[in-house]
Amino acid sequence: MKKTENPNDVLERAETSIRKKFHRELFSKFARAINEYELLAPNDRVAVCISGGKDSMLMAKLFQELKRHDKFPFELVFLVMDPGYDISHRQMIENNARLLNIPITVYESDIFESVFNIEKSPCYICARMRRGHLYSKARELGCNKIALGHHYDDVIETILMGMLYGGQIQTMMPKLRSTNFQGMELIRPMYLIREADIIHWCRYNNLEFIRCACKFTAASAEHESSSKRLETKNIIKKLKETNPFVENNIFKSVENVNLATVIAYKDKTGTHRFSEDY
């Protein structure tokens, strides 16, 4: 937001842009994901998990817009977990929430301190701990679902990362039942939204949100540039130069799995090899 701009004008422009200028790129894809993957049901109480970044803040506004349409009854709790942000990051989240009229519920944890000295996979462990805390707090607040702001680009990067670095074919699912919190479910309603469109919405509205605010990445300047996700993002970008359909093809690859043409696959009963039915 420009310093000379009226906060009310910023809010009105941000909300109007979702309804008009970015309706097809943002709200239509948000609603489509909810319908296609059956992410919401009548009388759900959803904890919209806000990290303070562009994705989760936009997700909160999209949920508010969906609520305005009033197709069926559901409730929203805008949940912010402070895992140990410094004062400036915490203040930025709260200021943006006020600016965008998002009534956040904030609670604190010490996750950043807990993972700071972990050398192996600190980001993975941090993400797991944060999700557990979010489930626990959401349930305490009477919610049956938590919503995370992962988008289309996160999905295709995860697919390719699994193949290149994990030796497996899997994807980031649009919804998951919690194994540790009975009756709780995770949903990803931004599943079909492109990151470029999120960035475009932010820039159009002169909005600035926090990026990664954890102490580990702040202490390691080389961490982000050497991360596997950024490396994968660059691989996709390079492939797109010669194949403009590569992103959609990666996404569709996990919808078009032919079990008759894979060496082995896993399900709840274990691993099955092609030779079983040969």
Strands (E), 83-197: 104-108, 145-147, 175-177, 185-187
- What is the percent of the chain where pLDDT is above 70? 87
> Model confidence at 115, in pLDDT bands (50, 70, 90)?
low
248: how many CB neighbours lie within 10 A of its CB? Answer: 11
pLDDT of residue 219: 46
Structural fold of domain 7-221? Rossmann fold (3.40.50)
Residue 108: strand, helix, or coil: strand
DSSP label at residue 28? H
Tell which wins on pLDDT, 81 or 23. 23
**What does the pLDDT look like over 118-143, one tens digit per residue?**
556 556 666 777 787 899 999 999 99
pLDDT of residue 26 exceeding 60, the answer is: yes
Structural domain spans, the chain: 7-221
pLDDT of residue 269 exceeding 90, the answer is: yes
Strands 185-187 and 264-267: unpaired
pLDDT of residue 7: 80
Half-sphere exposure of 89 (CA within 13 A, CB side): 18
**What does the pLDDT look like over 193-236, one tens digit per residue?**
999 999 999 999 999 999 865 555 544 444 444 588 899 999 99
pLDDT of residue 6: 84
pLDDT of residue 221: 42
Longest dimension (CA), the chain: 71
